[in-house]
Structure 1
Amino acid sequence: MTDPGERLRTSLAADVAVTPEFDSPIAMEAMRATRVLHAADQEPFPAPGRIRVVTIANQKGGVGKTTSTVNLGVALAMYGLRTLVIDLDPQGNASTALGVEHTVGTLSIYDALIGDNTLAEVVHPTTASPNLLCVPATIDLAGAEIELVSVVAREHRLRRSIETYLHELPAEERPHYVLIDCPPSLGLLTLNALVAGDEVLIPIQCEYYALEGLGQLLANIDLVRAHLNPGISVGTILLTMYDGRTKLADQVADEVRNHFGDLVLGTVIPRNVRVSEAPGYGQSVLTYDPGSRGSTSYVEAAREFAQRGVALPPAPAPPKAAPPPPVAGPPSVAALVLGEPVATPSPRGGHAT
């Protein structure tokens, strides 16, 4: 199997083979930038067989969740697919990268989860593309974990909001993709995202630490599938922060590919300083430096991701929000996922924990 570094070098060399007049690094970068900037004039990405609600999760921080959410979302939108990004991280980094206001008082995902606002009322346009909308996160979301504890059907709050939003939109305005950016934890916010999604995209940094907590995430996805969302599954693995100068990156990439097989995208995201610089200007790397390797890689990853969605069977029209389950009954699966104490009947008729 060709290693990721070789694939990346082959991809870049292919441009030279097609257009030999662009034989210098500066000319190559200019050509790549032109392709991204004029994405609307090129062949659009294929639309998926149904609306794809994708949860982008990994409880380890710094592996590229937000960066991947933002840049995949921008790439999909620039190439003709309507995309909604939901920022579920209290830090609000996805909102920052998309140039969306997320100061205190801004209507945000917090108001949809805890308050009485609908998702349609908290959706904001972005500067990246008219096809890209964003539901921002404010610092208020940091308290949502505590406030959700006493809410009925707390694990279903986000799913019901998305279903209601999709149902109320005309068919021609519904997004092709809903991308949910999760916080670096396995709390109630991530649990809501897993219940809301149809598939999980896991970004994995090409270092061994990134693999250590992966088993716990997969175990939690299995719990959610068994108790709350039978349709959820791991659909995509994206290798990020690949450093072709080290053997370690190749070793980690090989281990991930051997274990997950075809779930791993063929495109890898290299370490690139432009990717890190872009959020400081309220942009994605595709708009900040469209000719960079980071931009090119995310466009190719988005193309491959979109092509995989074509084969999905069509789904019926989005249903109305399901009624909340009755309060009485067995303990919530959140107690299992989050490690909460589960109440059990005591011999004297009360409850012991």
Structure 2
Amino acid sequence: MRTIALINQKGGVGKTTTAVNLSACLASLGKRVVLIDLDPQGNSSSWLGIDINHLNKSMVNVFQDELPISEILHDTCVKDMWIAPSNVTLASVERTLANKLENDTILKKSIDLLKDHYLYGNCRSEYVILDCPPSLGLLTVNALSAVREVFIPLETKVMALNGLVTLINTVNLVKDTLNPLLEVTGIIACMFDKRTNLSNKVVETIKDKFHDKLFKSIIRENTQLAECPISGQPITLYAPESRGTQDYMDLAREVISSTGEIHLSNYTTEGEREVARHYHDGEDCINT
């Protein structure tokens, strides 16, 4: 099971758009996907048709240790895609987390349980995607403690790289203190406008600074991408022939081709291998 957090402390960079549409495209390509909405704004949940003002079960219950994620999942309009919803109540829960012991690993325990949860028949989750809030607070730290991979969506606009150093430093701090297997494995260039030199320059700058971490698939600006949240559908259903669908399907294929598999032979010392076993249930070859 691959676990991926989409994070950026800036809003409006394409994070939720990517979380919803990448999840939908992965499901369309035959993967079983759970999308976890960790943003108190509940935009992913609303997008997929959930009435966030009348939720009986949500991520609030997970953080209050009342329910596992498996018990709050909602079906979506996409086959083999589920969502764990959130709403504004999650913001007040984040404030209370400061007074809880082990407040930075609550989510990890619940996500670990998903590995053994059957979504239907004998089928388990293959991808868990976390749509994180636009901040570096305890909800985001919980996400980083719980996942193996981080994807960073970046708009290809002026000052797109501002704050990126802080973001990566936060990831490295969590890696050093809570989750030694955490890695930034992908940067996604969003809102690309091929008509402007600026978008091209930003992409070239990202390539220069982060080399192989930038996905080859670039998300172009697209009117249908901006419209589809109102429809309650991902871009694959709202406008299946659009550039937005093409771009996110390309990204999903690229994500799948990078398998995320970890071999314990990659770790040079027995101490490192023991940490990997601890975090991944004692397996010698782990598909995270």
TM-score (norm 2): 0.89
CA deviations on 1:25-82 (whole Å, 9 max, x unpaired) are xxxxxxxxxxxxxxxxxxxxxxxxxx11001001011001100010000000011000
1:147 to 2:96 alignment: yes
CA deviations on 1:245-301 (whole Å, 9 max, x unpaired) are 100000000000111111111110000010010000111111100111011100001
CA distance in 1, matches of 2:164, 2:95: 25
Amino acid at match of 2:151: L
In the other structure, the counterpart of 2:202 is 252
CA distance in 2, matches of 1:115, 1:101: 23
In the other structure, the counterpart of 2:73 is 123
In the other structure, the counterpart of 1:181 is 131
CA distance in 2, matches of 1:263, 1:163: 26
* Deviation for aligned residue 1:311: 5.3
* Deviation for aligned residue 1:97: 1.9
- Give runs of aligned pairs for residues 1-353 of structure 1, distance below 5 A: 51-129=1-79, 131-169=80-118, 172-309=122-259, 312-313=262-263, 319=281
More strand by share: 2
Amino acid at match of 2:207: R
TM-score (norm 1): 0.73
- Equivalent residues of 2:118, 2:125 under 8 A apart: no
* Deviation for aligned residue 1:319: 4.1
Amino acid at match of 2:147: G
CA distance in 1, matches of 2:104, 2:254: 31
What 5-or-longer segments of structure 2 have no aligned partner?
Answer: 265-275, 283-288
Amino acid at match of 2:71: E
CA distance in 2, matches of 1:318, 1:228: 14
- Equivalent residues of 1:101, 1:136 under 8 A apart: no
CA deviations on 1:119-173 (whole Å, 9 max, x unpaired) are 11111111122x1011001221111221111111100010001112323448942
Amino acid at match of 1:69: A
* Deviation for aligned residue 1:318: 5.9
Q: Which moved more, 1:243-252 or 1:164-173?
A: 164-173
What 5-or-longer segments of structure 1 have no aligned partner?
Answer: 1-50, 321-353
Amino acid at match of 1:141: L
CA deviations on 1:324-352 (whole Å, 9 max, x unpaired) are xxxxxxxxxxxxxxxxxxxxxxxxxxxxx
- Equivalent residues of 2:117, 2:124 under 8 A apart: no
